[in-house]
Chain A
Amino acid sequence: MNTLDHVVAAFGALRANPVRGFLTTLGVIIGVLSIILLVGLGDGVRTYLAEAFSGLGSSLIEVIPGKTERKGMGPPPLNNPRKITLEDARAIERRARTLDAVSPIVFGGGTLRYLDRRRDVAVFGTSAMYPDMRNLHVQSGRFFDDEDALAGRHVVVVGTTIVRELFGEENPLGRTVKITDVPFRIVGVMAPKGQTFGFDWDDIAYVPAQTAMDLFQLDGVTQVLCRSRDRRSTAAAMDDIREVLSARHNFQEDFTIRSQDDLLETVNDLLRTMTLVILAIASISLVVGGIGIMNIMLVSVKERTREIGIRRAVGATRTDILLQFLVEAVVISLVGGLVGLGLGAGIIAIARNVVPDLPVELSAWIVAVAMGFSALVGVLSGVLPARNAALVDPVEALRYE
């Protein structure tokens, strides 16, 4: 008897009692379904993040004050490191040859007032290079330039959310707003960018870096954003920056340089670990499903004792009987796995139809893993019943009522 015969026989046994077959596979169906959905969500989030990151400009490198040893996204260290100044940023721009753009950034928050209207917004102090580095565009008016910055002019460029909330239909260009009681003239409006990770890019007011530092009474920048000439030269660019900056900091590396790719890699590592944890948890339901199969198979072997006797009488060896029940367990488990997979794929398809932005996807590797697990569960749950079946004594079995 070859394996195909056993597979055909196994489907026959399943068809003989479809309700029991369904109940037997339920555990595996649920196990595979939860693996598909949970891991699908994890994979989807990863894809979403990768896209979001590349939407923020590629080959970017950021320099922040303080040394963090770990490669993570943790908070900057608490001890008071030496600040990174605007002069540092300019030095990097002048001396680092592998870079094609450098922009200091000062993060702050403030209340923006226009007439009797007010709104709490994010204030970015930066330079004229910034929009290009972050793939941002000006919708109307202009971004401030180096001359505005040098002259210390109080000019501001605002996002569309701010315009909508403070000006409504009115044209904001040329109007004067107050940021924490200091007057600024609006010279430009940014084109809408939308949200990333819940942060609204259109709710930002951009001012020259030095102006922001004066406004918030800071003597250092929050970070320096650099862009290497291309993705391949990122590592060389980071070395350049380190050399320039440590020369200005008494040859101490009291700052941290990290590339956007590093950051994405860190997030991906984290998500991958989470996916594996989810997989492990979902596997528990597969194990429960396997125990269910084993249980039913043990009962089935008992019930089919006479069948075993008949098969042995007409020439089946112990191995034939063993394989018959083992294949049956694997077929039950695989059918359950396929049903779970089908349900999972269906739910994902419907979900993406209803909520197009939902970060969930069905990737090939998880399909392979789910089916592999199902087969493994089948084998493991079938071994004991199949062994019992093979050990049945044909004489006893033929007498069995």
Chain B
Amino acid sequence: MSAPAPPPVIAMRGIRKEYGQADSRVVALAGVDLVVLRGEYVAIIGPSGSGKSTLMNIIGCLDRPSAGTYALDGEEASALPDHRLANVRNRKIGFIFQNFNLLSRANALENVELPLRYRGLSARERRRLALQSLDRVGLANRVTHRPNELSGGQRQRVAIARALVTQPALLLADEPTGALDRRTGREIITLFDELHAAGSTIVVVTHDPEVAAYTRRRVSLVDGAVVEDGPVPRAEAAG
């Protein structure tokens, strides 16, 4: 007998998200079904206003769906109270944002330690894990620098180190190269590729065809619904 298959990282069924009441009602997500397995590398693309950010907030447990069920890494997450959601974010999700979202007062090490603080780890353990994570993104020599002493690419690396430090089930990135120049953006894409090769599960929301091209699967949203979901053609991936 083989070992039982691990649960999907994302298991969504009929996810809806509506804003406002009656006349002014906006349907941001109109019944999304999405399953992402462990180790997948997925791009979510779509025109502006198609619901990408809304979907990402629900995947990241920052927001709750109006209807539908969502299990993250085998844990039901669509109807948890606020403090449980915070706990799920801490353990299972590593966020990477377009504008980095680092604490400007804290240095690289302290920024990377932040998720571990809310986990109640000892200072020594926090430091060990954070240094390890910074080393992994190639910033071992920048640990005491503050965000304003780092380049854009380095800031995004700090953010990635912060996302990795908890060994989350899912890395969730929103336009990770949106604030970077082409060359630096490519470095970040390469880093994602390496993380994928090492086994991380990654979901990227992006407009950038180059970012999408590096992923292995592409989910297209239009008007809050999935209109296309399939592997990225090899030629494109190579290209």
B83 at the interface (CB under 8 A from A): yes
The total of Cβ contacts below 8 Å across the A-B interface reads 61
Per the bound structure, the CA–CA distance linking A172 and B83 in Å amounts to: 93
Q: Are A317 and B103 in contact (CB under 8 A)?
A: no
Of the residues A12, A306, A310, A315, contact of B90 by C-beta under 8 Å: A315
Decide yes or no: A315 and B89 within 8 Å by CB, A1-B118, A1-B120, A395-B63 being known contacts: yes
Contacts of B115 in A (CB 8 A): 314-315
Contact A398 B101 (CB under 8 A): yes
Which B residues between 84 and 113 are near A, CB-CB below 8 angstroms? 86-87, 89-91, 95, 97, 101-103, 105-106
A16 adjacent to B105 (CB under 8 Å) = yes
List residues 1-27 of chain A with CB under 8 A from any CB of chain B: 1-2, 5, 12-13, 16
Contact between chains at B118 and A316 (CB < 8 Å): yes
- Cross-chain contact A398 with B120 (CB below 8 angstroms): no
Residue of B60, B63, B89 most packed against chain A (CB within 10 A): B89
Residues of B contacting A2 in the complex (Cβ-Cβ under 8 angstroms): 120
Q: Taking A310-B103, A395-B57 as contacts, is the C-beta distance between A317 and B83 under 8 angstroms?
A: yes
Whether B83 pairs with A318 at a CB distance below 8 angstroms is: yes
- Let me know if A313 and B105 touch, CB within 8 A: no
Whether, in the assembled complex, B114 has its beta carbon less than 8 Å from a beta carbon of chain A, the answer is yes
| Shortest Cβ distance from residue A236 to the other chain B in the assembled complex, whole angstroms | 68
Q: Are B97 and A307 in contact (CB under 8 A)?
A: no
Question: Known contacts A306-B101, A313-B101, A315-B90; is A320 also within 8 Å of B63 by CB?
Answer: no
Which B residues are in CB contact (< 8 Å) with A394?
62
CA distance A313 to B163 in the complex (A): 10
Provide the bound-state CA to CA distance between A398 and B95, in Å.
11
CA distance A311 to B86 in the complex (A): 10
Docked Cα-Cα span, A362 to B120, in Å, equals: 42
Residue A242 at the B interface, CB < 8 A? no
A311 to nearest B CB, angstroms? 7
A313 near B89 (CB under 8 angstroms)?
A: yes
Chain A residue at minimum C-beta to C-beta distance from B162:
A314
Residue of A with least CB distance to B119: A315
**Alpha-carbon separation in the docked complex, A395 to B64 (Å):** 11
Give chain B nearest CB distance to A11 CB in angstroms. 12
Q: Does chain A have a CB within 8 A of B82?
A: yes
Q: Known: A395-B57, A395-B63, A398-B62. Contact between A314 and B105, CB under 8 A?
A: no
Q: Encode contact with B along A15-47: 1 for CB under 8 Å, 0 otherwise.
A: 010000000000000000000000000000000
List residues of chain A with CB under 8 Å of any chain B CB.
1-2, 5, 12-13, 16, 306-307, 309-320, 394-395, 398
* 10 A-B pairs closest in CB distance: A315-B90, A315-B118, A314-B115, A317-B86, A317-B83, A310-B101, A394-B62, A16-B105, A313-B95, A395-B62
